[in-house]
């Protein structure tokens, strides 16, 4: 272990002790929802958690980065000198998910991993930590000769997962072109549906989240023949991923940010990403 990492770990230990004391104190503060929070039936039932020495973190079983999130949850708890307690959510979730996120944060976990840092995408009652990894959207195609979107003939149809930040940027780019210079673009319901459309030849290329492609390729043999190509002429479509928590948890937020910084600096996050061959890098 290098001296630089030693120093970083010592510093991490020092503030982690302080963080632990603060976390235990913060857990005892009464919870009070602000008026603009989602309506949760019988919200009074959700009191403060009494086990102040545990970091309860949620992961969504539908997330492509689930293996990464699990390891990062453990690492974060360790950095804060807390016991890790994982809660897997998302099975059969339906409906208005912003309400579910609120309820989960009230009822189950201190922090919910796996959210992109997107400006103005979160309501006031929800805050997001600094990112712990950076990944990107990629174009996926079955064609061997293409190196980037620029190589895809304009007569071809491309798609993007509906409503993603990358697809929104793609739409903006296409609208800036003359109609005759545009690719025909369709919004697709999900990353998985978009990849199936590429396999089936309905789309020449699809813009999907790289971690989704990573996870779906492991699961679906038909996607083995697909490959990524560059975004050019589009700029990079990167996004940092962090964890959300209730905005009122200011102390926890500050300490999680420091913990992420420390885990980044000492190489722990890079190690997790490399171990899983996950298509992402630590956030500098």
Partner 1 sequence: MSRRSLKSLMLAATLLTGLSAPGFSQAIVNLTPKNATVQNFKPVTDAMLLKPDPADWLLWRRTYDGWGYSPLDQINKDNVKNLRVAWTWSLTPGATETTPIVHDGVLYVFNYADKVQALNAATGDLIWQYTRALPQKLLTEGGQFLGKRNMAIYQDKLFVATSDAHIIALDAATGKVVWDHATGDWTQGWRYSGGPLIVHGKLIQGMTGCGNAEPGGCFISGHDVNTGEELWRVWTIAHPGDPNESTWNGVPLESRFGASAWMPGSYDPELNTVYYGTGQPYPWIAEMRGTLPKKDGFENNALYSDSTLAIDPDTGKLKWYHQYLQNDTWDLDYVYERILVDLPINGETRKALITTGKLGIIEAIDRVNGQWLWAKETVPQNVVQSFDPKTGEKVISVSAIPHIGQTTVNCPADPGSRGWPATAYSPKTQLLYMPLNEFCSKTTPVPLDPGQAYTGGGRAIFDRTPVPNSDGNIGRVDAVRLSDRTQAWSHRQRAPETSAMLPTGGGVVFTGTLDRYFRAFDDTTGQVLWEARTNNSINGFPITFMANGKQYVAVATGNGSSEMRSLGTLTPEIGTPDGGSVLWVFALPDK
Nearest distance, CB of residue 213 and partner 1, angstroms: 12
Do 185 and 172 meet the contact criterion of CB atoms below 8 Å apart? no
Using N-to-C axis directions, what is the helix angle for 210-219 and 191-199, rounded to 10°? 60
55 binds partner 1 (CB under 8 A): no
Token representation of residue 51: 């086990």
- Residue 56: in which H helix or E strand, if any? strand 54-60
Q: Under the criterion CB under 8 A, does residue 40 sit at the interface with partner 1? A: yes
User: At closest approach, how far in Å is the CB of 133 from partner 1?
Assistant: 12
Cβ closest to partner 1, residue 14 vs residue 154: 154
Applying CB under 8 A, which of residues 130, 134, 202, 227 lies at the interface with partner 1?
A: 202
Nearer to partner 1, 8 or 66 (CB): 66
Among 13, 18, 25, 93, indicate the residue that binds partner 1 (CB under 8 A): 93
Q: How far is the CB of 149 from partner 1 (least distance, A)?
A: 18
DSSP secondary structure code for residue 144 in this structure: S
Min separation Cβ 1 and partner 1, Å: 33
> Does 200 interact with partner 1 (rule: CB under 8 A)?
no
d(CA 78, CA 81): 5
Q: Which stretch binds partner 1 (CB under 8 A): 7-15, 114-122, 145-153, 249-257?
A: 114-122
Query: Does 98 sit near partner 1 (CB under 8 A)?
Result: yes
User: Helix crossing, 66-79 with 250-265: angle to 10°?
Assistant: 100
CA distance 104 to 100: 6
Residue 62 or 232 having the CB closest to partner 1: 62
Closest C-alpha among 100, 120, 95, 22 to residue 60: 100
Among 20, 31, 74, 100, binds partner 1 (CB under 8 A): 100
Q: Under the criterion CB under 8 A, does residue 138 sit at the interface with partner 1? A: no
3-state secondary structure at position 111: strand
Residue 174 per-residue DSSP state: H
> Segment 147-186, which members bind partner 1 (CB under 8 A)?
161-165, 167-168, 171-172, 175, 179, 184-186
Residues 61-80 that bind partner 1 (CB under 8 A): 62-65
Written as six digits, the tokens of 24 are 């235990």
Give CA–CA dist 128/105, Å, rounded: 13
Are 222 and 81 a contacting pair, CB within 8 Å?
no
What number of chain residues touch partner 1 (CB under 8 A)? Answer: 59
Calpha distance 245→112 (Å, rounded): 6
Residues that bind partner 1 (CB under 8 A): 35-36, 39-44, 60, 62-65, 90-101, 103, 112, 114-116, 118, 120-122, 161-165, 167-168, 171-172, 175, 179, 184-190, 193, 202, 209, 211-212, 241, 244
């Amino acid at each position: 272990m290098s001296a630089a990492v030693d120093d970083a770990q010592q510093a991490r230990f020092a503030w982690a002790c302080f963080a632990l004391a603060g976390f235990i104190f913060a857990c005892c503060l009464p919870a009070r929802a602000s008026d603009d929070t989602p309506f949760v039936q019988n919200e009074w039932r959700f009191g403060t958690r009494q086990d102040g020495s545990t970091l309860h973190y949620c992961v969504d079983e539908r997330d492509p980065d689930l293996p990464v999130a699990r390891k990062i949850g453990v690492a974060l708890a360790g950095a804060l000198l807390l016991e890790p307690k994982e809660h897997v959510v998302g099975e059969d979730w339906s409906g208005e998910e912003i309400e579910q996120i609120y309820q989960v944060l009230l009822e189950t976990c201190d922090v919910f991993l796996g959210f992109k840092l997107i400006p103005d995408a979160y309501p006031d009652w929800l805050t997001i930590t600094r990112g712990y990894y950076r990944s990107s959207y990629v174009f996926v195609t079955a064609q061997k000769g293409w190196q980037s979107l620029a190589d895809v003939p304009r007569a071809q149809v491309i798609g993007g997962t509906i409503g993603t930040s990358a697809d929104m940027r793609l739409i903006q780019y296409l609208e800036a072109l003359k109609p005759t210079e545009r690719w025909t673009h369709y919004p697709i319901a999900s990353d998985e549906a978009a990849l199936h459309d590429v396999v089936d030849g309905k789309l020449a290329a699809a813009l999907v989240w790289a971690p989704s492609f990573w996870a779906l390729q492991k699961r679906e043999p038909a996607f083995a023949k697909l490959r990524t190509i560059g975004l050019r002429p589009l700029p990079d479509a990167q996004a940092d991923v962090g964890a959300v928590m209730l905005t009122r948890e200011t102390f926890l937020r500050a300490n999680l940010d420091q913990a992420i910084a420390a885990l980044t600096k000492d190489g722990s996050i890079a190690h997790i990403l490399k171990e899983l061959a996950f298509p992402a890098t630590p956030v500098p």
